[in-house]
Amino acid sequence: MISVQNLSFQYAAGNAIQFPDFTVTRGEHCLLLGESGSGKTTLLHLLGGLLRHYSGSLKIEDTELAQLSEASLDRFRGQNIGFIFQRNHLINALTVEKNLMMAPYLAGLKIESERITEVLSGLGLAEKRKSRVTQLSHGQAQRVAIARAVLNKPSIIFADEPTSALDDKNCERVIHLLMDVANQHQSTLLVATHDQRLKDKISNQVRLSSL
Ligand code: ADP
Ligand code: MG
């Protein structure tokens, strides 16, 4: 499903970041561990096609990402990948519902109101559908970000430090929520974190070394 070999990436200013080889099979959950600055976000952005021009090999479903055109990559991402960013990237001016509608809209898929209902209910957010993002607690906003990421039933979910700003109780909640939503559609789940609390939650782990 995901295969990384001999991968390295260089920002315009900076040293090349070298990543370890690993594979994640379909439906598997995997932790991407490493200190701050070790390249976790960079790797997720490469895997999601948000950063390009890497050297080495980066394959999703036997497709070498570098071989996709920008337009096919956008489509591929929208239809196959759910991204939960380090900062939740919700649009504050819009309601919860409108934020969720962005996911199918940007992927060129049909917007299904029932699917929005289903996902919001599943995450305990049904009453927040018409609320603006600014009216939510941090934990609720985090769940909306998860809802948006899973709305299109992606085959892969990437989460970047989903628990680092949360207390123990919400940390526990969010990681189980992510694993549950991934299991519902046999999605592959890759969670990047330096949060030691997650180490016992997912046994399959890839460790990035510090530079
Ligand atoms: P992590 O997510 O593990 O904290 P990052 O992927 O954010 O690590 O960063 C890896 C390295 O790349 C760091 O040294 C960081 O300073 C550098 N880096 C990250 N983003 C950029 C950027 N946009 N331009 C230049 N260097 C960057
Ligand atoms: Mg990061």
Ligand 1 within 6 A of CB of 124: no
Domain boundaries, the chain: 2-207
Ligand 1 pocket test: which of 7, 18, 41 has the largest number of ligand atoms within 8 Å of its C-beta? 41
Ligand 1 centroid–CA 166 distance in Å is 22
pLDDT of residue 185: 86
Beta strands 29-33; 188-193: pairing state = parallel
The closest of 66, 9, 12 to 39, measured between CA atoms, is 9
Task: Check pLDDT > 90 for residue 205.
Answer: yes
**Cα 28 to Cα 144: distance, rounded to the nearest angstrom:** 23
Comparing C-alpha atoms, which of 123, 73, 127, 131 is closest to residue 99? 131
Residue 76 near residue 68, CB atoms below 8 Å: yes
What's the pLDDT tens digit per position in 154-193? 999 999 999 887 888 888 888 998 999 899 889 999 999 9
CATH topology of domain 2-207: Rossmann fold (3.40.50)
Cβ 38 under 6 angstroms from ligand 1 = yes
Q: Tell me, what amino acid is at 119?
A: V
Which residue's structure tokens are 């995901």?
A: 2
Bridge partners, residue 58, by sequence: 4
Ligand 1 in contact with 8 (CB < 6 A)? no
CA–CA dist 115, 124 (Å, integer) = 14
Q: Whose CA is nearest to atom 23 of ligand 1?
A: 11
3-state DSSP assignment of residue 207: strand
Ligand sitting nearest the alpha carbon of 19: 1
What is the three-class DSSP state of 164?
Answer: coil
Per residue in 77-110, pLDDT tens?
888 899 998 777 899 999 999 999 999 998 889 9
Is the CB of residue 36 below 6 angstroms from any atom belonging to ligand 1?
yes
Single-letter amino acid, residue 134? T
pLDDT for 211: 61
Q: What is the pLDDT of residues 133-155, one digit of tens each?
A: 999 988 889 889 999 999 999 99
pLDDT at 156 (0 to 100): 96
- Give me the sheet containing 29-33, strands edge to edge: 81-84, 156-160, 188-193, 29-33, 205-207
Least confident of 48-52, 66-70, 120-124, 163-167: 163-167
Q: Is the CB of 14 under 6 A from ligand 1?
A: yes
